[in-house]
């Protein structure tokens, strides 16, 4: 849907004044079609009351019960909960020159890049994200700045540096030997005890969730394959250490053996899951694990197979992996795997996260199932379902709206017209 001028949905003058400072936390929203709990269908002609950034009630009919509180007119709109992306890299974006930034950019530079990407993400309707790989100081600093209101962006749950083995996906690869020695970090581990140490160090430095690279990956500049990299003992040690400190573990995993070893070790979720099969699907269900599919990342890297700026090892892996990911999601959906929406944005461009929805529909999801994956399911996956994921009493007022029905055409979500997060309007109807 192209950007539209929507005078019929204009806000009151009082509300516009509040929006100018992005500070309105009390409001009344009139919603013509409200998908309060995706999966349960629309409610019509509803009033949402908001106080101090949270929803105090959702009632049928258009009511104005508090004088002096601005009324936001979404009577002609389709209203959904704020969207959630469970897999982003908010401080980077792949392309020519990105590898050079390891030498030229400080953590401050990286955090400022992240602030710009965070704003794009929020204005695209994603009010919460999980960042699963980035430089600790930059990612955690940006997360905390957003939380205290210093920077506009989606609320974040963040992993920081992914835990990897020496030479694995997540380590620094493809540079000269003297350079490689400069980049060895505390996130690299070998052996069960060392992997416990790496988990504890990430928790100490601020990780909300632990991200590991259970298999090889496409964008690591090494011809190390796409299969299991951690040993079974290392995987068990990571899960035990993380769970004992109250942290979930999510695993980047492409190859079948790596996926299944991670699931048997008790991993909470799998990112990508490219080579999963019926046996893998059974393990997902047995262990109550979640899949974060990131199909748009596969589509994106498929388009890079002839790009000279991408290292040769990565181009070869991209040509293999990219075309497989849509069928992977089709198999997972048909098999009843729990799916949380995620994109791997940072591989693809920030602000285009919603393009994943059309790919999910192509893989067999209904539009409402896809939206549920980006709201109800993702909120539970991020352990934030008490606060986000639906438009219900007690939850944050995270609200997205558009003028056409996304249940009829899911691509409407690619250009939303209204964004509210925690009662603050960041994208107003015009």
pLDDT digits (tens, 9 = 90+) for 47-76: 999 999 999 999 999 987 677 888 999 999
Q: What are the tens digits of pLDDT across the range 404-424?
A: 999 999 999 999 999 999 999
Q: Which residue has the higher pLDDT, 87 or 97?
A: 87
Tell whether 338 and 398 lie within a shared domain: no
Do both 146 and 169 map to the same domain?
yes
Instruction: Please indicate, yes or no, whether residues 196 and 117 belong to a single structural domain of this protein.
Output: yes
What is the Cα–Cα distance from 388 to 376, expressed in whole angstroms? 8
For the chain, the straight-line distance linking the first and the last C-alpha, in angstroms and rounded, comes to 15
Q: Do 131 and 263 belong together in one domain? A: yes
* For residue 320, pLDDT beyond 90: no
Lowest mean pLDDT among 191-200, 243-252, 254-263, 310-319: 310-319
| The total number of structural domains that make up the chain | 2
Q: Are residues 421 and 339 in the same domain?
A: no
In a domain, 243, yes or no: yes
Indicate whether 219 belongs to any domain. yes
Q: Note the pLDDT of residue 166.
A: 77
Nearest of 53, 16, 49, 48 to residue 149 by alpha carbon: 53
Instruction: For residues 257 and 150, state if they share a domain.
Output: yes
Residue 2 is assigned to a structural domain of this protein: no
pLDDT at 219 exceeding the cut of 80: no
Q: Do 346 and 94 contact (CB within 8 A), yes or no?
A: yes
C-alpha to C-alpha distances, 228 to 231, 232, 255, 319, 420, nearest whole angstrom: 8, 9, 7, 19, 42
Is the pLDDT at 91 greater than 90, yes or no? yes
Rounded distance, CA 169 to CA 173, Å? 8
Residue 77 lies in a domain: yes
Q: Nearest to residue 357, comparing CAs of 347, 365, 348, 346?
A: 365
Q: Say whether both 64 and 36 belong to one domain.
A: yes
pLDDT of residue 25: 74
CB 364 within 8 A of CB 333: yes
Burial zone of 26 (CB within 10 Å; 0-12 exposed, 13-18 middle, 19+ buried): middle
* Residue 227 clears pLDDT 90, i.e. is over it: no
Specify whether 66 is located in the same domain as 189: no
Distance CA 3, CA 10 (A): 15
Q: What is the domain range of residue 157? A: 83-381
How would you label 61-85 residue by residue, b for 16+ Cβ within 10 Å and e otherwise? Answer: eeeeeeeebbbbbbbebbbbbbbbb
User: In the prediction, which pLDDT does 4 show?
Assistant: 34
Do the domain assignments include residue 12? yes
Domain-terminating residue out of 381, 399, 418: 381
CATH code of 414's domain: 2.30.40.10
- Asked if 183 and 175 count as a contact pair (C-beta separation under 8 A), the reply is yes
Q: Is the domain of 66 the same as that of 126?
A: no
Strand partners, 83: 126
Residue 177 has pLDDT above 80, yes or no: no
Output the pLDDT for position 15.
35
Please report the pLDDT score of residue 186 as a whole number.
Answer: 76
- 60: β partners: 46
Q: Check if the beta carbon of residue 233 is closer than 8 Å to that of residue 255.
A: no
| Within-domain flag for 1 | no
163 inside domain? yes
220 and 366 co-located in one domain: yes
376 and 394, same domain (yes or no): no
What share of the chain in percent tops pLDDT 70? Answer: 87
* Contact residues for 374 (Cβ-Cβ < 8 A; gap 6+): 83, 84, 85, 340, 341, 357
Q: What is the pLDDT of residue 19?
A: 33
DSSP state of 162: P
Residue 346 burial by Cβ neighbours in a 10 Å radius (0-12, 13-18, 19+):
buried
pLDDT in tens, 247-277: 999 999 999 999 999 999 999 999 999 999 9
Q: Say if residues 90 and 140 touch (Cβ distance below 8 Å).
A: no
**Own/partner pairs for 16-24, CB < 8 Å, 24+ apart?**
16/428, 18/70, 18/425, 19/425, 19/428, 22/152, 22/424, 22/425, 22/426, 23/424, 24/70, 24/423, 24/424, 24/425
pLDDT at 318: 83
Is 329 strand, coil or helix? Answer: helix
Residue 166 inside a domain? The answer is yes
d(CA 197, CA 185): 12
CATH number at residue 172: 3.20.20.140
Q: Do 137 and 28 share a domain, yes or no?
A: no
């Amino acid at each position: 849907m192209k950007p539209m001028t929507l005078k019929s949905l204009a806000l009151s003058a009082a509300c516009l004044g509040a929006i100018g400072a992005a500070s309105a936390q009390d409001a009344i929203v009139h919603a013509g079609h409200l998908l309060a709990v995706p999966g349960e269908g629309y409610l019509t002609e509803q009033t949402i009351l908001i106080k101090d950034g949270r929803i105090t009630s959702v009632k049928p009919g258009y009511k104005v019960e508090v004088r002096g509180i601005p009324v936001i007119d979404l009577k002609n709109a389709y209203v959904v909960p704020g969207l959630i992306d469970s897999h982003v890299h908010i401080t980077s974006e792949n392309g020519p020159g990105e590898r050079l930034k390891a030498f030229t950019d400080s953590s401050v530079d990286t955090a400022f890049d992240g602030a710009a990407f965070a704003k794009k993400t929020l204005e695209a309707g994603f009010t919460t994200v999980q960042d699963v790989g980035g430089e600790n100081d930059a990612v955690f600093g940006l997360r905390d700045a957003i939380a205290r209101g210093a920077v506009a962006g989606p609320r974040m749950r963040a992993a920081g540096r992914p835990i990897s083995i020496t030479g694995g996906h997540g380590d620094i690869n493809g540079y000269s030997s003297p350079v490689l020695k400069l980049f060895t970090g505390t996130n690299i581990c070998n052996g069960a005890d060392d992997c416990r140490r790496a988990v504890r160090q990430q928790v100490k430095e601020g990780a909300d969730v632990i991200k590991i690279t259970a298999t090889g990956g496409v964008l690591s500049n090494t011809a190390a394959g796409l299969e299991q990299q951690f040993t079974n003992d290392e995987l068990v040690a990571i899960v035990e250490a993380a769970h004992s400190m109250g942290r979930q573990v999510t695993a980047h995993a492409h190859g079948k053996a790596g996926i299944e070893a991670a699931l048997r070790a008790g991993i909470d979720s799998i990112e990508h899951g490219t080579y999963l099969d019926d046996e893998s699907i059974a393990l997902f269900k047995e262990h109550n694990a979640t899949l974060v599919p990131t199909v748009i990342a596969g589509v994106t890297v498929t388009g890079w197979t002839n790009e000279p700026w991408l290292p040769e090892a990565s181009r070869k892996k991209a040509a293999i992996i990219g075309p497989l990911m849509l069928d992977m999601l089709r198999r997972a959906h048909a098999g009843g795997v729990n799916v949380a929406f995620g994109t791997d944005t940072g591989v693809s461009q920030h602000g285009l996260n919603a393009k994943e929805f059309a790919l999910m529909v192509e893989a067999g999801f209904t539009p409402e199932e896809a939206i549920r994956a980006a709201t109800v399911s993702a909120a539970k996956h991020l352990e934030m379902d008490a606060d986000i994921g639906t438009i219900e009493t007690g939850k944050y007022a995270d609200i997205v709206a558009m003028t056409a029905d996304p249940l009829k055409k899911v691509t409407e979500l690619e250009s939303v017209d209204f964004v509210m997060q925690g009662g603050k309007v960041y994208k107003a109807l015009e």
